[in-house]
Structure 1
Amino acid sequence: MKALQDLFYRLLGFLLVFALAAMCVMVFGNVVLRYGFNQSLVVSEEMARFFFVWMTFVGAVLTFRENAHIGIETLVQRLSRKGRLVCMFMANIVVMVCGAVFAMGAWEQHDINATMFAPVTGLSLAWVYGIGMFTGAGVFLIALGRVWDVVTGKVTEEEIARFAGEYHNEEIMDAVREVSK
């Protein structure tokens, strides 16, 4: 299961790299065409915007997985292990609610967006705004897994340290690994 999850997140990372590279090629190509040949590809402008939206929302899922979103780490770092677990539990419950609302909102808007089309490519705008369903569901599932780990006592010291913002300091992580041995 862990290997399958890692493969999934690696594929998402590849998708981000692909989207960024495609955006760079489209925008740079359009700049060259515009200033070098007095031409432009309007399709590249629209697709670059769509790729940027997808890159942002897929990146949000990957960032949440790594506990790299903004948090109140100065407060959490001062808490005991039990306090950190309570904060971790509560924060992930709030994230689950927000992720569910986000995904359900995107789902409810799907029919409207499916009948609207991009002006240049003619793509259904459900392809653009539909990413909200993926992002909401992805964040919800990651938070659900974390809540489950807290409730069942399977959360590791390293995960607690990451939640508290201590993952960036290698000395702290070495100490956490020593304690958890």
Structure 2
Amino acid sequence: MNAVSRWGCRLTEGLMVLMLAAMVVMVFANVALRYLFDSGLSASEELARWLFVWMTFLGAALALREGGHMGADLVIDRLPRPLRRALQLFTLLSMAAITVLMLQGAWAQMVINRETVAPGTGAPVAWFYASGVVFAVGALLALGADIVAVLRGQPTAAERALADAPGEAHGATPPATRAQEAA
């Protein structure tokens, strides 16, 4: 990962921490107000839900960049290197195509809902759908980096994460074996 990518990942992680803290405070305050004073903050439920969606999408893009998503590589790891790379490239290109469709859909929803306001906060609903746009852009950047890595014969983010992992919990071919295959 280059310095800009590392900086972006750390910034995203920090933003997610702030979002989680805000969610905890809002939900706790709302529960306390309801039980102690028989009142509540109507905007807190909506805002907590929006923050949760944003955290989910940001976390998914971050996990994609860091190779953190689950994968079924039991069969793929046993294939010859050229076939394995071809399947990786096909998979990454397929994921990128699906992500482009998601980007188009999220963008369309943002445009459709730019004048619609949320009932609890009065905020434009387009901000809710912007989470999908931000995810898609981040995911396309991560997928693009992995596509370039595959084309150059370098390890993808998932392979780097696996190589950095202290143990092989899922029984895949150990990184040492992969390195020996490549030699």
TM-score band by shorter chain is 0.7 to 0.9
Tell me which residue corresponds to 2:14.
14
- CA drift of 1:46 comes to 1.0
What is the CA–CA distance in structure 2 between the aligned matches of 1:26 and 1:136, rounded to whole Å?
Answer: 28
Number of equivalent positions: 177
User: Any stretches of 5+ residues in structure 1 without a counterpart?
Assistant: none
Tell me which residue corresponds to 1:134.
134
Q: Greater shift after overlay, 106-115 or 116-125? A: 106-115
Tell me if 1:4 matches 2:4.
yes
Tell me which residue corresponds to 2:111.
111
- CA drift of 1:168 comes to 4.2
On the 8 A contact 1:84/1:160 being kept in 2, the answer is no
**Cα deviation 1:17-49 (Å, max 9, x = unaligned):** 111111111101111111112111111111101
- CA drift of 1:78 comes to 2.1
What is the CA–CA distance in structure 2 between the aligned matches of 1:28 and 1:40, rounded to whole Å?
Answer: 11
Closer/same/farther in 2, CA of residues 125 and 160 from structure 1, 3 Å limit: closer
Aligned residue type for 1:170: G
* Cα RMSD, aligned residues only: 2.5
- CA drift of 1:70 comes to 2.9
Tell me which residue corresponds to 1:44.
44
Closer/same/farther in 2, CA of residues 130 and 90 from structure 1, 3 Å limit: same
Closer/same/farther in 2, CA of residues 166 and 152 from structure 1, 3 Å limit: closer
Tell me which residue corresponds to 1:98.
98
What is the CA–CA distance in structure 2 between the aligned matches of 1:105 and 1:74, rounded to whole Å?
Answer: 33
On the 8 A contact 1:85/1:160 being kept in 2, the answer is no
Tell me which residue corresponds to 1:170.
167
What is the CA–CA distance in structure 2 between the aligned matches of 1:161 and 1:152, rounded to whole Å?
Answer: 14
TM-score of the pair, normalised by structure 1: 0.86
Closer/same/farther in 2, CA of residues 94 and 152 from structure 1, 3 Å limit: same
TM-score of the pair, normalised by structure 2: 0.85
Closer/same/farther in 2, CA of residues 167 and 74 from structure 1, 3 Å limit: farther
What is the CA–CA distance in structure 1 between the aligned matches of 2:27 and 2:116, rounded to whole Å?
Answer: 25
Between the aligned residues of both structures, percent identity stands at 37
**Relative contact order higher in (CA < 8 Å, ≥ 6 apart):** 2
- CA drift of 1:100 comes to 0.8
Aligned residue type for 1:79: L
- CA drift of 1:170 comes to 3.1
What is the CA–CA distance in structure 1 between the aligned matches of 2:128 and 2:11, rounded to whole Å?
Answer: 19
User: Any stretches of 5+ residues in structure 2 without a counterpart?
Assistant: 169-173
Tell me which residue corresponds to 1:124.
124
**Cα deviation 1:114-160 (Å, max 9, x = unaligned):** 1111001110011001111111111112111111121133x13x757
Aligned residue type for 1:83: L
On the 8 A contact 1:110/1:130 being kept in 2, the answer is yes
What is the CA–CA distance in structure 1 between the aligned matches of 2:11 and 2:4, rounded to whole Å?
Answer: 11
Closer/same/farther in 2, CA of residues 102 and 160 from structure 1, 3 Å limit: closer
**Cα deviation 1:51-91 (Å, max 9, x = unaligned):** 01100110110111122223222222222322321222111
